[in-house]
Structure 1
């Protein structure tokens, strides 16, 4: 086990394994990005020139969050509600 060629072989094998893993991960990442780009292009209003209006449930949720923020700010300021 003290043979230097053994360690060189193991290091080369490990390096090759890491290179293969990195290549396949990068290929998958590029494919995922291409898929997301296609999804964005095929959506209605894909040009994104005008921002879309949020739906009613999103507006209610935003209003609820704003109210919670106001209450937390009042608590932080020491104001009784």
Structure 2
């Protein structure tokens, strides 16, 4: 391989890397713009599920307690 072909190969790799970086940056900026829009318009809160009731939280705590006991080797 001569010096010119090595230079062209290196330059084309750099150009391809630069274009890929620009595309990734554009996608990142678009995602950030979407999140800013969701925050300013209150869409993020609407997408969340409704708050769980006290009974469901108590049930989850009981399950966690049982799993911790199983992990510790204690019979309930």
| CA distance in 2: counterparts of 1:65 and 1:5, whole angstroms | 68
Instruction: Specify whether residues 64 and 22 from structure 1 end up closer, same or farther in structure 2 by C-alpha distance, changes over 3 A only.
Output: farther
Q: Which runs of 5+ in 1 are unaligned?
A: 47-53
1:14 aligns with 2:9: no
1:6-29 Cα shifts (integer Å, max 9, x gaps):
011011001001101101110121
1:77 aligns with 2:72: yes
Q: Give the alignment of 1:1-81 within 5 angstroms.
A: 2-43=1-42, 55-56=51-52, 60=56, 62-81=57-76
Q: Decide which structure has greater helix share.
A: 2
Count how many residue pairs are aligned between Structure 1 and Structure 2.
70
| CA distance in 2: counterparts of 1:28 and 1:5, whole angstroms | 35
Question: Normalising to structure 2: TM-score of the pair?
Answer: 0.72
- What is the root-mean-square deviation in Å for CA atoms of aligned residues? 2.4
Deviation above 4 Å: which 4+ runs of structure 1?
A: none
